[in-house]
Amino acid sequence: MRDSNKYDGNQVVIHTIKQGETLSAIAQRYHFKSWTPIWAYNTEIRHVFEGSPDSIQGGVSIFIPRSEEGYKHLIIKFKSLEGYIKNAGDREMYLLDADYYRFLANRVLLDAGGDGLQGQIGRSNDR
């Protein structure tokens, strides 16, 4: 979390309420159209506030959520990460398949080599 002086909407920041400060003033400072996203984030997600929005007190640290644009960027990052994870999983499956087929090929070669050795041993015993 970044400090409130560097808020760009892409990160959640902590804001300490000053005595007499209102949620409307805080929302305006962080370029929110309304104070309700800040209230919702601090009641539903972080459980900082209880009661009425009119009863906020100075000295309490609250969380300023990402902006709408910040959440859009976050979703894009998650989708990108999801694609990366899928590709990495596909690559691992390919590598596991390749190892399995190498194992099968080596087994066939060992079986064939063993059959050849048994034939040589059998012929040497016939002499």
Q: Tokens in use for 25? A: 């003033």
What pTM value is reported for the model?
A: 0.56
d(CA 62, CA 43): 10
Is the same domain home to 34 and 61?
Answer: yes
Considering its fold, how many domains does the chain have in total?
A: 2
pLDDT digits (tens, 9 = 90+) for 46-90: 777 777 787 788 899 999 999 889 889 888 888 888 888 888 888
pLDDT digits (tens, 9 = 90+) for 109-125: 888 766 666 656 555 55
- Structure confidence at residue 117 (pLDDT): 60
- Residue where a domain stops, chosen among 18, 33, 66: 66
d(CA 14, CA 21): 15
- Structure confidence at residue 125 (pLDDT): 56
Is the same domain home to 59 and 73?
Answer: no
Is the same domain home to 75 and 120?
Answer: yes
Between the alpha carbon of residue 47 and those of residues 8, 60, 63, 68, the distances in Å are 23, 12, 10, 21
